[in-house]
Amino acid sequence: MAVNKKVFINCPFDQQYFPILKAILFTNLCLGLEPLISETTNSGESRFRKIRKFIRDSSFSIHDLSRIEPLKADDLPRMNMPFELGLDFGAKYFNKSLEKKKFLILEAERFRYQKVISDISGHDIRQHNNQPVEAIKAVRNWLATHVKGRVPSYKMIWSAYQNFRFEYDQTLKSENIDPEAIGDIPFSEIIREMKGWIKNELPDNSIDYPDFESDDTDFSERELILENLIRKVDELLKRKGLETDSEKQGLLQTQKVLQEKLNHLRIANASLTDGAKKFEVMKDIEQIEKEIKKIELSLQKHSLNIE
């Protein structure tokens, strides 16, 4: 799946969480993404069908696990958010077209998730401390690692959100609607209002979300080339009758260079989530390819068939 600007939002739908949800929606829109979120009014079957579509269609996902505890003393834990997170993880790891999808997992407190769902350790997990401004900071800083170029600071986004909220809340109050009541206004309408306000009030800030899938493919192809060349050098070194010691030493040096290049590429590949580093690394690739060509020609002199 080529990268797109759709982000699946998996979060609680309760009154206390509503301010955080609105801040997250605004941040994504402010940074040029299209939030996909299921309406609370949908029936169970239609909502599940829509969630599956959102998971399939999005290049990004935000999962908030901060509200899995019961709302009241006699209630049971809320498992919708972990369930949808599991669906999304399954889609990513068992569907090749979604394997490059990017996840952000939000929590109220640092490391609290380890008590209930420790298997997600090692993924991008950030806390918002139940504060809208901290949610904006977490989402903004996460998305900043996946873009080319500069993005507005979280303080700028928070300031813009405060201005939007003041104006929009005044409009709702004039229509006798409580702006803090979840469910009174459909999420799709809130998103449309936010999008219109951002377009009219904020300077054009086009943000480039590069196609990280194609970048990963390029790295993988180069890794395969290097691994194949190293294997061929090993085969040649095992043969008897190399003409001179200097020839053998030359092959050993070639093998060392190849391994260094392979290690370099693997480190670069592991850094792909760091947007700035990724583009710096790509500058080195052309030089690496030129050196690979030279090594291929050198090996061909030994009648070695490079596939």
Q: What count of Cα atoms within 13 Å lies in the side-chain half-sphere of residue 182?
A: 14
Instruction: Please report, rounded to a whole number, the percentage of residues in the chain having pLDDT higher than 90.
Output: 28
Q: Does domain 6-201 have CATH number 2.60.40?
A: no
Average pLDDT estimate for 150-171:
93
Higher pLDDT, residue 247 or 31: 31
* pTM of structure: 0.64
Lowest mean pLDDT among 52-61, 75-84, 134-143: 75-84
Give the H/E segment covering residue 165. helix 154-174
- Whether the per-residue pLDDT at 151 is higher than 50: the answer is yes
Q: In this predicted structure, what is the pLDDT of residue 14?
A: 85
The residue extents of the domains of the chain are 6-201, 212-300
Whether the CA torsion 21, 23, 24, 25 is positive or negative: it is positive
Q: In this predicted structure, what is the pLDDT of residue 88?
A: 86
- Whether the per-residue pLDDT at 6 is higher than 80: the answer is yes
**Mean pLDDT for all residues in the chain:** 75
- Whether the per-residue pLDDT at 252 is higher than 70: the answer is yes
The single residue listed with the structure tokens 């993924």 is 123
Q: In this predicted structure, what is the pLDDT of residue 273?
A: 44
State how far the alpha carbon of 23 is from the alpha carbons of 18, 113, 198, in Å. Answer: 9, 22, 13
Higher pLDDT, residue 154 or 267: 154
What's the token pair of residue 94?
A: 């068992």
Q: In this predicted structure, what is the pLDDT of residue 146?
A: 83
State how far the alpha carbon of 11 is from the alpha carbons of 164, 234, 280, 301, in Å. Answer: 22, 53, 35, 61
Pairwise CA distance, residues 55 & 50, whole Å? 9
